[in-house]
Amino acid sequence: MDLSCKIEYALLALLELSSCYASGDPLQIRQICARQSIPDRYLEQLLATLRRSGLVKSQRGARGGYLLAREPWLITLYDVVSCIEGFDTQSEGARPLDTLEASVIQDVWGEVRRGAEQVLQKHTLKDLLDQRNTKQQVDIMYYI
């Protein structure tokens, strides 16, 4: 649930796709990577994962690329994170025994996790894009 490099790359790519969503043209991996300076072969893997989860569509062949599968305000950050992290059903290696004390501890972390999921579900790709734009405005104001 931490912000890994992997998740950040995926979100940056999706933001690029979001900002081009209105045009309807596909965006190529190279273009995304050039704008956000992401290693291209790495993003390729991430986009493949996103495609298999149905968050993006790909168009093969010349002048192909990637497209958002649905509108930017219908994709939450939780969708992205659970897709990339693979919602792996507690596949931690080498856990302590399942005693009464351990279950009480895990209850607390369940509470933490649910809180995090709520926050992530509140934000969509469109929100992020809007926030970026207002932030840019603020930066320009400071510049003047």
- CA 127, CA 76: separation in Å to the nearest integer? 9
**Residue 60 contact among DNA, a copy of itself, none, beta carbon within 5 to 8 Å by kind:** DNA
CA atoms within 13 A on the CB side of 20: 19
Instruction: Please answer whether residues 116 and 77 qualify as being in contact, where contact means their C-beta atoms are separated by less than 8 angstroms.
Output: no
Name the DSSP letter for residue 18.
H
Nearer CB in complex with a copy of itself: 61/107: 107
Residue 53 is a binding residue for DNA (CB under 7 A): no
Binding residues for DNA, rule CB under 7 A, total 32
Residue 37 is a binding residue for DNA (CB under 7 A): no
Query: Can you say whether the dihedral through the CA atoms of 38, 7, 132, 32 is positive or negative?
Result: positive
Residue 88 is a binding residue for a copy of itself (CB under 8 A): no
Alpha-helical regions (H) of 20-99: 29-36, 40-52, 77-85
Looking at residues 90 to 109 of the shown chain, list those that interact with DNA (rule: CB under 7 A): 91-94
Q: What residue ranges bind a copy of itself (CB under 8 A)?
A: 1-5, 8-9, 11-12, 15, 36-38, 77, 92, 94-97, 99-109, 111-112, 115-116, 119-120, 123, 128, 131-132, 135-136, 139
